[in-house]
Amino acid sequence: MNNSKRNRALVTFGDSWPAGAELNGNEVPYGNVLSELLSYKTYTNMAQPATSNDHLILQMHSYIQHEHHNPLVETDAVFFITSPARTMVYGEHNTPVEIYPWSDMSKGDVAYYYYKYMQTPMLEWFRLNSSILALQQMCTTANINDYYVVGWSECKFDMSGINLSKIYKNGLTTMSDWLGCNGDHEFTQNSRNKYIYPNTDPPNQLGHNLIASKLSEWITST
């Protein structure tokens, strides 16, 4: 057992990948595997499928406010950075609504108007970098060690104040690169990638095991 981690907590945030989408009932996402590899005392998975980087802030807020986070216990948080094209708006009853370019683009739908009239590469950059800045500040305040890994789309993190040392390879290497997916949505059933197949998009158990191994190496090295 790794005594350096035994009395520490692990928490993961993100979308369908860390949530473990498309895994079978006896399979577990990379956070569970990582928790076992490094012998964390507790593990919490806050990830929710089909969510945006904006939503990471809500996940973090919920963890701090409602998941009994103890600032006296050293905690490691791993954030999965999804496509910056995804975003979040508030709908009826102040309910968060996730939208993305491949969602319902029927005329009249909020996604249609957002991506037709508002979304630009600069706005994507601004929202992504603002979210990372907010998360890093929240983690500092809560005494949480934070780690960020880009999922599949290379991202540019260059807003003043962002601590790049907390972002794996400055965001230029992604989890999909680890799985041999060339950084894009090549990971489909047709690709027969051994770390994805037979899933449609998220990793299979072999893929989650590889991701956990890579994260373990990174966390222990820092």
Q: What is the CATH number of the domain that holds 94?
A: 3.40.50.1110
Residue 191 has a pLDDT of 62
Q: Say if 134 falls within a structural domain.
A: yes
Q: Say if 49 falls within a structural domain.
A: yes
CA 105 to chain centre: 25
Provide the pLDDT confidence category of residue 1 given band limits of 50, 70 and 90: very low
Closest alpha carbon to 52 in 20, 9, 99, 103: 99
Q: Which residue has the higher pLDDT, 91 or 173?
A: 173
Judged against a pLDDT cut of 90, whether residue 106 lies above it is answered with no
Neighbours of 23 (CB within 10 A): 17
Which structural domain, as residue segments, surrounds residue 121?
Answer: 9-221
Closest alpha carbon to 155 in 195, 121, 111, 119: 121
Provide the pLDDT confidence category of residue 5 given band limits of 50, 70 and 90: low
Q: Say if 1 falls within a structural domain.
A: no
Number of structural domains in the chain = 1
Q: Please give the average per-residue pLDDT across 60-79, as a whole number.
A: 90
Q: Please give the average per-residue pLDDT across 122-143, as a whole number.
A: 96
Q: Which residue has the higher pLDDT, 108 or 57?
A: 57
Q: Please give the average per-residue pLDDT across 75-94, as a whole number.
A: 93
Provide the pLDDT confidence category of residue 88 given band limits of 50, 70 and 90: very high
Q: Say if 133 falls within a structural domain.
A: yes
99 beta partners? 87
Residue 111 has a pLDDT of 87
CA 80 to chain centre: 2
Q: Say if 91 falls within a structural domain.
A: yes
Residue 204 has a pLDDT of 95
Q: Say if 200 falls within a structural domain.
A: yes
How far is Cα 174 from Cα 196, in angstroms, rounded to an integer?
A: 15
Q: Say if 4 falls within a structural domain.
A: no
Q: What is the mean pLDDT of the chain?
A: 89
CA 61 to chain centre: 15
Q: Say if 207 falls within a structural domain.
A: yes
